[in-house]
Amino acid sequence: QVQLVESGGGLVQAGGSLRLSCAASGSSFSINTIMAWYRQVPGKQRELVADSTGGGTTNYADSVKGRFTISRDNAKNTVYLQMNSLKPEDTAVYYCQAVRPYYNSRIVYWGQGTQVTVSS
């Protein structure tokens, strides 16, 4: 029912910047919805990059603190990940995630992923 569509990935040189976008269709973001960005390298587990609560609080992986910024526009059903000072180690497929409470459990939605490649 809910679809997350990501965009903004690509190839960038080390030190450059990219801005990822994730637009949700089918429902609007709410204060109860947690939005997050994950990334995954082949052969590695998917790891949390950043998340944002509906109230606006954010959390970041230590590896990206000071370089990445997650933001959301609930009215536009869109979450962003501004990535600055990119490093080759940031190369990965980046996934958008939405987590919505559902009764006593929750529903997790994933985007299709967008490739970010940082050249040295």
Give the tens place of pLDDT for each residue, 15-39.
999 999 999 887 776 777 899 999 9
In this prediction, residue 2 carries a pLDDT of 83
- Please tell me whether residue 75 adopts helix, strand or coil conformation: helix
Which amino acid appears at position 111 of this protein? Answer: G
The reported pLDDT for the residue numbered 113 is 97
Residues in the chain where the model's pLDDT stays below 50: none
User: CA-CA distance, 52 to 103, in Å (whole number)?
Assistant: 21
CA atoms of 32 and 45, how far apart (whole Å): 26
